[in-house]
Chain A
Amino acid sequence: MLGIPDPWVLAAYLFVPTGALLCIGYGIMKWNKEGSVTEEEVLEEKTWLKEEIEIDEELSGEEPQ
């Protein structure tokens, strides 16, 4: 099949597109799931992102704001 005589190697070849299909299927199924977040989480993320930006600024030699 597909010019690959060894079933073990053929399996590897076929696992590649099936893996991609699994990813596509999962992503579509869960497209609108797990998007809700609490106020608390928003606050935590805000602090997290602020620190992340500070680190980046420090690394690039700018004064944190």
Chain B
Amino acid sequence: MEQYSSRSKEKMFFAFLAGFLYLLAGSIQFVFSLSTMLGLFPVISFENGLIGIFFAPSDLIGSLILVLIGSIFIYGLTELRTGLNEGIAYIYVGILISLLFATVYVLVMAGNWMDSFLLNGPETNGWDLLYDLRPAIYLGILPLCGYLIWRKEFRAMNK
């Protein structure tokens, strides 16, 4: 690793961490979603259990998106490791896409809450925060930190 600058090392570590977390979360969610769909395990244990809270609810496409985001980060990491500085583009785009999907899920959550509020009043019966708190939202905190730290660098790339 001596050939890499400290800045590159930071980004490589970030890409590894983000890629690993997204891939892990995506893979677990994918397996659970598929199991739930095919009725391989009792659905209730995933919806109510600890893992069920973190990866609830089963969301097949959502899980594939997490895997995709993870793959983007890992792709960037492999390019950077082989000395291709352009691999930074994958980290940049990975951050953008992960923030984009975190926003999508936050807006979906807001929409569901508002709809429940309109139909059921302030009690918002039928709306469950844990049901809408998808992994893409809380995993988005890491890319958000990355964006805040390197935003000037990203902006300067087209100068």
Partners in one complex: no
